[in-house]
Amino acid sequence: MPITRARKEEQVARYAELLSESTGFAIVSPNNLPVNKIEALRRTVREAGGEYVVGKNTLVIKALEQAGWVVPQDQLQGQTAVIFGKDAFPDVAKALLAFIDKEKLEDDKLKVIGGVMGKDVLKSTGVKAVSELPTLPELQAQIIGLIVTPAINIVSILDAANAGVVNVIQALLDKDKDGGSAA
């Protein structure tokens, strides 16, 4: 039974909303994937800050066009699902690929076709590369490390300088003490 025009518009609006919240998305082909595995994948993606959506390709394309995203028409062919990276796409891509590895899923069950990040259309290898990017907390830690390291170095230099002054004063006191007792 075909869906009504109103329902199609509703779905396009939902996809456009997801796109407005996303930093990127992956396109997968869930062929012959059992329902329990799809539910596990949905849960995994949700925990990583994303959303797994099975939609009609023409409606996804319409939403992409409306939202101003680049449209990977060649990737939206046949049976597909879109995994939106709502919080951070690299985290979602990492969770997707980890799920595929953990479940030992072959391409005939769940295949990463590609995706989009920013204005770049990604092939499956691009999605893998994105998954290897550091997460936001890792980036924050790296930046904090870059900021803190010079301060630690300055404190070490000042501490060494203070120690040097103390050693010179101690040496002078020891010399006076030794010289004073001999006189």
What's residue 182's pLDDT? 46
Angstrom CA distances, 21 to 37, 76, 85, 93, 95, stand at 26, 20, 8, 16, 18
pLDDT at 183: 44
Minimal CA–CA distance to 117: which of 55, 50, 62? 50
Instruction: Extract the tokens encoding 149.
Output: 């390291």
pLDDT at position 3 is: 81
Q: What is the pLDDT of residue 179?
A: 65
pTM for the model: 0.74
Residue-wise pLDDT tens for the chain (183 aa)?
Answer: 678 889 999 999 999 999 999 999 999 999 888 999 999 999 999 999 999 999 899 999 999 999 999 999 999 999 999 999 987 899 999 999 999 999 998 878 899 999 999 899 999 999 999 999 877 677 788 888 888 777 777 777 777 777 777 777 888 788 777 765 544
pLDDT value at residue 154: 78
Letter string b/e over residues 122-146, b meaning 16 or more CB atoms within 10 A of that residue's CB: bebebbeebbebeeeeeeeeeeeee
